[in-house]
Amino acid sequence: MEELGLHILMEFNQCSLDKLNDLELLEKEMKQAAKVSNATIIKSVFHQFSPQGVTGVVVVAESHLAIHTWPEHGYAAVDFFTCNLAMDYHKAYNHLVQILNSKKHHYKSIKRGFIETRVIENELSSS
């Protein structure tokens, strides 16, 4: 079987608190993360929470990159989903490590949307 996509779950801990609460910076740098991974950006939507925290998504032709931050915990969660298995999510990950000043970080990748490669025949009934 082959997968339709790859979902990378990125964890960033011990980050710069100011950066985790800066909507403009996060939107700019999430777009840059998409670009360095060779994604085709369609649009982005970001929201500032009160009293703190940002959530946002960069929609790309290949799927999406999304972030949610908890400045009070120095933590950001990033989801990178792609249906283009040739994209370089490592570059996006490394970019975000630097931008967020993350002292502790890791990621996990999950193959998504398995399809069977065999042909399934449909039975036709005559009435």
Cβ count within 10 A of residue 95: 18
Q: Catalytic residue at 83?
A: yes
Nearest C-alpha neighbor of 56 from the set 84, 82, 28 = 28
E runs forming strands in the chain: 5-13, 41-48, 54-60, 63-70, 75-82, 104-112
Which among 7, 16, 64, 83 is annotated as catalytic? 83
Which among 37, 44, 63, 102 is annotated as catalytic? 63
Phi, psi of 28 (to 5 degrees): -60, -45
Q: Catalytic residue at 64?
A: no
Which among 7, 16, 64, 68 is annotated as catalytic? 68
Nearest C-alpha neighbor of 16 from the set 74, 95, 94 = 74
Bridge partners (DSSP) of residue 78 are 10, 67
Q: Catalytic residue at 73?
A: no
- Return the active site residues: 63, 68, 83
